[in-house]
């Protein structure tokens, strides 16, 4: 009979169940909608409407929106209320300038220290699959995961921390860019050559490819993204 009851030592590895506050759950839902581009920059956030859609009271909606304000994704407009913070052409340009610096540094560090890059293929394959299925959301998620993994593989804590501070904007811009650049196969196809250059330990080619890739925004006027605010 004693075998049917677990003692304290048997439960040592079992983690307690965490109760995520409703405001945090709502904030995450809205955050995903914003960074995926489903909630466009400039979209007004009406508490009553969101509360009805999500079948909750207005209080956690209000608290969730405050969280998103602290993320820099939402702003208050006098006499209009809360809205998804618009992107300016300057913000887009500055974000991608920093992204280029981070990713070139990551590439150089990966090759200098010989860090393995096999994990990057997972996201290349995921992008190919998403392109074949015509699933833009999945492609954008895999695209972001590829670049996040590139930074992680570089094994530089401050670099990763700096990337994380830009992550929400980077993901949002990626999603909006992919909206106006609908050839999903072209987007997916830009990534395998980067991995091959890293595997070949070709510093010049890898830096050239990652620089060219991060500057792909120059294929169209950055203002075209900001214009999606409307």
80 with 102, same domain: the answer is no
Domain that holds residue 167: 89-229
- Residue 143 lies inside a defined structural domain of this protein: yes
- CA–CA dist 104, 127 (Å, integer): 22
Taking only the tens place, the pLDDT of each residue in 17-26 is: 668 899 999 9
Q: Which of 56, 84, 112 is the last residue of a domain?
A: 84
Residues 155 and 60 in one domain: no
For residue 100 the two structure tokens come to 């280029």
Cβ atoms of 39 and 226 within 8 Å: the answer is: no
Q: What is the pLDDT of residues 18-77, one digit of tens each?
A: 688 999 999 999 999 998 888 988 899 999 999 999 999 999 999 999 999 999 999 999
72 and 100 co-located in one domain: no
Q: Full-prediction pTM beyond 0.85?
A: no
Token look-up 């909006």 returns 176
28 and 53 in a single domain? The answer is: yes
Residues 176, 144, single domain; the answer is: yes
As a whole-number percent, the residues of the chain with pLDDT over 70 amount to: 85
**Of 33, 60, 84, which residue constitutes the final position of a domain?**
84
- Number of structural domains in the chain: 2
Looking at the structure, tell me whether residues 182 and 212 fall in a common domain.
yes
Strand partners, 194: none
Residue 10: pLDDT band with limits 50, 70, 90: low
């Amino acid at each position: 009979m004693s075998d049917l009851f677990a003692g304290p030592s048997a439960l040592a590895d079992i983690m307690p169940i965490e109760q995520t506050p409703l405001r945090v759950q709502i904030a995450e839902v809205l955050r995903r909608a914003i960074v995926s581009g489903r909630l466009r920059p400039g979209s007004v956030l009406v508490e009553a409407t969101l509360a009805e859609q999500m079948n909750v009271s207005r209080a956690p909606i209000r608290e969730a929106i405050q969280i998103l304000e602290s993320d820099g994704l939402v702003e208050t407009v006098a006499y209009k209320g809360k809205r998804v913070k618009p992107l300016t052409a300057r913000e887009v340009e500055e974000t991608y300038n920093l992204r280029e610096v981070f990713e070139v540094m990551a590439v150089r560090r990966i090759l200098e220290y010989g860090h393995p890059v096999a994990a990057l293929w997972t996201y290349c394959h995921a992008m190919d699959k998403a392109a074949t299925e015509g699933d833009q959301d999945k492609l954008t998620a895999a695209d972001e995961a590829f670049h996040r993994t590139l930074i992680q593989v570089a094994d530089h804590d401050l670099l990763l921390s700096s990337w994380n501070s830009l992550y929400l904007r980077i993901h949002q811009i990626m999603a909006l860019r992919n909206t106006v650049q609908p050839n999903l196969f072209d987007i997916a196809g830009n990534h395998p050559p980067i991995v091959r250059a890293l595997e070949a330990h070709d510093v010049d080619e890898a830096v050239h490819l990652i620089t060219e890739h991060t500057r792909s925004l120059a294929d169209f006027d950055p203002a075209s993204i900001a214009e999606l605010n409307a």
